[in-house]
Amino acid sequence: MFNLLKTTKPKQISSIEICENFYNLGMWIDYRNANPDLFDNSYLTPLARTICTEGAVEPLTGIEIPAGAMDPSGNLREGLVFSYVNSRIRAVMLVIHNLISDNQIISPKIYASEAVTPFALKFRGIFSKFIGSEYATSADQKEHLFPILSQDLQDLSYPSNSFDIVSTNEVLEHVPSIDKALEEIYRVLKIGGWHIGTVPFCHGQDESVVRARMENEELVHLTEPEYHGNPMDEKGSLVFELPGWGILDRARAIGFSDAHMRYIISTQHACLSQDIGGILVLCLQK
């Protein structure tokens, strides 16, 4: 685990490593109030420039990111891109690396709800028992995707108690029922296994923002439709729900023994986000 480097002049920090677990909105608000500089873009922007000037190291692979290879401008959570991997994905890679290392998991069985992304390609090259899938909605898409499998997170085809780690990155918001997806993730995880991943997160509230839902097998839009990028569909994927902190209580109700958001800032690994400083990673243990 990382520790916050204490200083009376935070705007002069050039190196900072933070890993903190938050179990509810109250803990998060207390942390924000105690560490206002971490949520100040006038501090974060120069820090991003420093990261790009000094270089970094990609988690898991150990690949060196040379100075000048990343762009510090724009959306930092989705930016700081090197070798097609951004800040958010490196945070997930870092959490998974620490999980495997801390628990000395030999030859982990890992499932990810993505198979054609840079994240999946990285993991496939490192872990022999990694499997990824995509979600296809037509016979033509499934044929094009083969031999990669199409999987619905609400109804996975894998046996129960199969995986040490399940990773979903920017996927849960596109599932009609996050609760059904979490139930399936719980089912296919081994006892003690972890879900590690990200989701666009309403970090300032408990309640989710529900933009669409299925009613009697009919799609109902509650707000103007919003779509995010999807490698399987040029139109993108419809957003159903943007969860707030209440997703942790819902995960606990399903049976997860540990449910928290892990907050990652790392200049060593170029993990940074505008407005909130770090990356929030959804961590759920069966």
Chain segment 56-76, per-residue pLDDT in tens: 999 999 999 999 999 999 999
Residues of the chain where predicted confidence (pLDDT) is lower than 70? 1-14, 231-234
pLDDT value of position 153: 97
CATH for 12-285?
3.40.50.150
pLDDT value of position 231: 67
pLDDT value of position 2: 34
Q: CA dihedral in degrees (220, 222, 226, 228; nearest 10)?
A: -60
What's the rounded Cα separation, in Å, for the pair 96 and 196? 7
pLDDT value of position 1: 35
- Give the pair of three-digit tokens for residue 181: 């997806």
What's the rounded Cα separation, in Å, for the pair 150 and 114? 10
Q: Which amino acid is at 19?
A: C
By the 8 A CB rule, do 182 and 251 touch? yes
- Give the pair of three-digit tokens for residue 195: 């879900």
3-state secondary structure string, the chain?
Answer: CCCCCCCCCHHHCCCCEEEEEECCHHHHHHHHHHCHHHHCHHHHHHHHHHHHHHCEECCCCCCEECCCCCCCCCCCCCCCCECCECHHHHHHHHHHHHHHHHCCCCCCCEEECCCCCHHHHHHHHHCCCEEECECCCCHHHHHHHCCCCECECCECCCCCCCEEEEECECCHHHCCCHHHHHHHHHHHEEEEEEEEEECCCCCCCCCCEECEEEECCEEEECCCCCEEEECCEEEEEECCEECCCHHHHHHHHHCCCEEEEEEEEECCCCECECCCECEEEEEEEC
Map out the domains of the chain as residue ranges: 12-285
pLDDT value of position 10: 38
pLDDT value of position 13: 52
- Give the pair of three-digit tokens for residue 198: 């990200």
- Give the pair of three-digit tokens for residue 31: 């942390």
What's the rounded Cα separation, in Å, for the pair 201 and 36? 19
Task: Count other C-beta atoms under 10 Å from residue 161's C-beta.
Answer: 12
pLDDT value of position 14: 66
